[in-house]
């Protein structure tokens, strides 16, 4: 019952056509399908989360979210494979 998620960038849209990558940012992981918090991830020094696996069934909806102390927040959903 292990399934995969794709890697992604952790970044802020600067509203001017540019983005700022967020290195070493804590990313909350939530299993939407089963309503369960999973272990947090941390973006690498370049602001990337590498592809990986979670202990959930394939086809599980996962929400990755960030909430910074300055009030900036966002999320992205993925179905695991």
Q: Where are the domains of the chain?
A: 3-79
> What share of the chain in percent tops pLDDT 70?
100
Which pLDDT band holds residue 76 (cuts at 50, 70, 90)?
very high
Q: Please state, in angstroms and as integers, the Cα–Cα distance from residue 52 to each residue in 16, 20, 28, 68, following that order.
A: 32, 23, 15, 23
17-36 pLDDT, tens digit each: 999 999 999 999 999 999 99
Burial of 38 per CB tally in 10 Å (0-12, 13-18, 19+):
middle
Is 58 or 72 the better-scoring residue by pLDDT? 58
Q: Which CATH class is domain 3-79?
A: mainly beta
């Amino acid at each position: 019952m292990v399934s995969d998620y794709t890697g992604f960038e952790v970044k802020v849209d600067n509203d001017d056509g540019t983005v700022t990558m967020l290195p070493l940012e804590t990313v909350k992981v939530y299993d939407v399908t089963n309503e369960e918090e999973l272990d947090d991830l941390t973006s690498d020094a370049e602001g990337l989360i590498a592809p990986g696996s979670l202990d959930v069934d394939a086809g599980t909806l996962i929400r990755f979210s960030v909430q910074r102390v300055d009030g900036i927040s966002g999320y992205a959903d993925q179905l695991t494979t």
